[in-house]
Amino acid sequence: MFELTDKVAVVTGAGSGIGAAIAGLFARQRARVVIVDRDEAAGRRTADAIRNAGGRAEVVAGDVSAEADVARTFAAIEAAERRIDILVNNAGISHVGTIEQTSAADFDRLYQVNVKGVFLCARAAVPIMLRHGGGVILNMASIASLIGLPDRFAYSMTKGAVLTMTRSIAVDYMKRIRCNCICPARVHTPFVDDYVARHYAGREQEVLRQLSAYQPVGRMGTADEVAFLALYLCSDEAEFVTGQAYPIDGGVLVT
């Protein structure tokens, strides 16, 4: 069950965190993983870890927010791999602030990566999938797609767009491409540790406890837990699932 033998899986933003966990798990399930990351060195670290564990992984440096970059990247992947079976749109950035604390530059930057990046990568992947019999697209949304979060105005805007793009793709390609999204609550990744260290120096443990307490189960999620859900949704065992938003939230939505 849940094997991805010889499937070509493209994972964006797989240089660290959730993307790296998804890439590693897919490789363990025998997929041929292609890592797309703006930070080529980070992507290579993930690929090296996969290869050292006996898996297959390649790296293509690319900026998901740049149309020419995405077109070049996906053309190179098709030329090398001959097809794309799975696309995980994981690359994204965050922002903290209300509408009053969000500049136009902040808004544009969030939109370019989190919304336009998903659009560009999905648009590039869909024709390749259709030429080779179909495929699966999995987008990384957030519980911010489903509920209001304080101080996350621009971020929530982008993740709401990811949710609606997910459902639109699912409807338009119903019998050929499945498309779902995952909606995590807080997940403990190196990004979180770096953010806390930069903005709450000397209070790191206190802030991490606060972030953990937000989830009713009393902790943040892990990247591996998100990866396991991603594996299910991208596997043949989920063939009856499309157009859905899957929360993985430690009980946030039921309290």
CA-wise closest residue to 240 among 152, 170, 168: 170
- What distance lies between CA 176 and its chain's CA centroid? 21
Which domains are seen in the chain, by residue range? Answer: 8-185+222-242 (3.40.50.720), 188-219 (no CATH)
Q: What is the pLDDT of residues 43-78, one digit of tens each?
A: 999 999 999 999 999 999 999 999 999 999 999 999
Q: What is the mean pLDDT of residues 238-244?
A: 98
Q: What is the mean pLDDT of residues 246-253?
A: 98
> With bands split at pLDDT 50, 70 and 90, how would you rate the model's confidence at 42?
very high
Provide the whole-model pTM.
0.96
Q: Where are the alpha helices (DSSP H) in 82-221?
A: 104-110, 117-131, 153-172, 190-199, 204-213
Asked if residue 138 has pLDDT above 90, the reply is: yes
Q: Measured between alpha carbons, how far is 54 from 111 in angstroms, rounded to an integer?
A: 37
What's the distance, Cα to Cα, between the start and end of the chain in Å?
Answer: 33
- What distance lies between CA 102 and its chain's CA centroid? 23
Q: What is the mean pLDDT of residues 171-186?
A: 98
Kindly name the residue from 111, 155, 173, 246 that is annotated as catalytic.
Answer: 155
For the chain, what's the residue count? 255
Contact 25, 231 (CB under 8 A): yes
H-helix or E-strand spanning residue 188: strand 187-188
Active site residue 111: no
Instruction: Please tell me the predicted confidence (pLDDT) of residue 191.
Output: 86
Which residue type occupies 244? Q
Kindly report the average pLDDT of the chain as a whole number. Answer: 97
Q: What is the mean pLDDT of residues 1-28?
A: 97
> With bands split at pLDDT 50, 70 and 90, how would you rate the model's confidence at 199?
confident
- Pairing of the two strands 56-61 and 32-37: parallel
The pLDDT > 90 percentage for the chain reads 97
Asked if residue 195 has pLDDT above 90, the reply is: no
